[in-house]
Amino acid sequence: MKVAVVGATGMVGNVMLQVLAERNFPITELLLVASERSVGKQVSYKDKTYTVIGLQDAVNAKPDIALFSAGGTTSEQWAPKFAEVGCTVVDNSSAWRMDSTKKLVVPEINGNVLTKEDKIIANPNCSTIQLVMALAPLHKKYRMKRVVISTYQSVSGTGVKAVQQLENETKGVKGEMAYHYPINRNAIPHCDVFLENGYTKEEMKLVKEPKKILGDDSFSVTATAVRIPTAGGHSEAVNVQFEKDFDLADVRKLLSETSGVIVQDNLDTNTYPMPIYANNKDEVFVGRIRRDESQSNTLNMWIVADNLRKGAATNTIQIAEYLVENNLV
């Protein structure tokens, strides 16, 4: 299996290499790919040093699978070129997510939609992935009517520059700003750019992507996305109204039996999900599961995951694993 990691020198690219090694993904030849300014850099993988190559050289090498995390513009331009030479691209940017001709995949939920003909596959937004991991089994049993989400997103979701801003501010050092405002000791209700409807792109991803992944647009979603001063891990307060009533014990049982989900919900021991404990883990953690007493058939819960792993790198690699296991590449 000849595998290319595109964006190998970036934050998610580094995590991809870590996850590929941890999961022992079957690689016979590894191509580490980045933009021209990173070509020639040395990167280690499994105690071996690789030289970073450019995008055209990677296309010429005709990899079997290309794992992309190099931004939307790069994906739009280069993913089709990789696909043309028979490579299957799994793309972590937002470029292809809402393209009606491309699949948007969380393997535990809808991996079965993939075929050999899918040469460009979209990885969902990090906040969407952890959300649908918890919602999918509940929707199947109780049928969602309306979902209200408030996110508490780490600076790593913005990138290296934002992580550096937080570190600088924590130390009292002046430096380059990733945000319009200080992030240390602050909460910024502004993730991605604002759209004409007053929502941000991040909020609208949360509105649209779950419907595509679940193959159902019968429920409505509204979201508010907030950036907070944590270095890693996204958290979400989620309120879901269902068509059918539920029993809380059944909800906990259903979630705990869902692959990739861990229920942390014991108030007697103050056990609930937090980003500090989700760090460097692939599971989605769900807690604070309780009935909304203001409205019938409505549930509140708190969902946390490592946004660089299950929210990005791990899900991308799980898609690649699914392709390999089912002989789709």
Say what the pLDDT of residue 233 is: 97
Task: Tell whether 9 and 158 lie within a shared domain.
Answer: no
pLDDT number for residue 127: 98
Q: What per-residue string of b and e applies to 288-323 under the rule 16 or more CB within 10 Å gives b?
A: ebebeeeeebbbebbbbbbbbbbbbbbbbbbbbbbb
Residue 200 sits in a domain of what CATH number? 3.30.360.10
Residue 188 and residue 57 share a domain:
no
Name residues of the chain where pLDDT drops below 50: none
Same domain, yes or no: 266 and 318: no
Q: Are 69 and 87 in contact (CB under 8 A)?
A: no
Q: Given 126, 139, 180, 190, which residue is catalytic?
A: 126
The pair of three-digit structure tokens given for residue 27, joined into one six-digit string: 């690689």
- Extract the annotated binding site for phosphate: 97
> Does residue 55 share a domain with residue 189?
no
Question: Residue 199: what pLDDT?
Answer: 98
DSSP 270-329: TB---HHHHTT--SEEEEEEEE-TTSTTEEEEEEEE-TTIIIIIHHHHHHHHHHHHTT--
Question: Residue 243: what pLDDT?
Answer: 98
Q: Which amino acid is at 54?
A: G
191 is annotated as an active-site residue: no
**Does one domain contain both 158 and 186?**
yes
**Feature table: binding site:** 9-12, 37-38, 97, 153, 156-157, 227, 307
The CA-CA-CA angle for residues 318, 321, 325, to 5°, reads 140
**Could you identify the residue written with the tokens 């002046």?**
174
CATH of the domain at 105: 3.40.50.720
Q: Is 234 a catalytic residue?
A: yes
pLDDT recorded at residue 145: 98
Tokens of 318: 């799980």
Task: Give the pLDDT confidence score for residue 52 in this predicted structure.
Answer: 97
Residues 178 and 195 in one domain: yes
Sequence ranges of the binding site for NADP(+):
9-12, 37-38, 156-157, 307
Domain that residue 82 falls in: 2-123+312-325
Answer yes or no: do 170 and 238 share one domain.
yes
pLDDT score recorded for residue 3: 98
Catalytic residue among 87, 139, 191, 234: 234
Q: Which residue has the tokens 């699914």?
A: 322
**What pLDDT is recorded for position 108?**
97
213, 292: one domain: yes
Same-domain pairing of 143 and 19? no
Q: Do 113 and 145 fall into the same domain?
A: no
Q: Please report the pLDDT score of residue 228 as a whole number.
A: 98
- State how many domains the chain has: 2
Pair (55, 88) in one structural domain: yes
Does residue 145 share a domain with residue 55? Answer: no
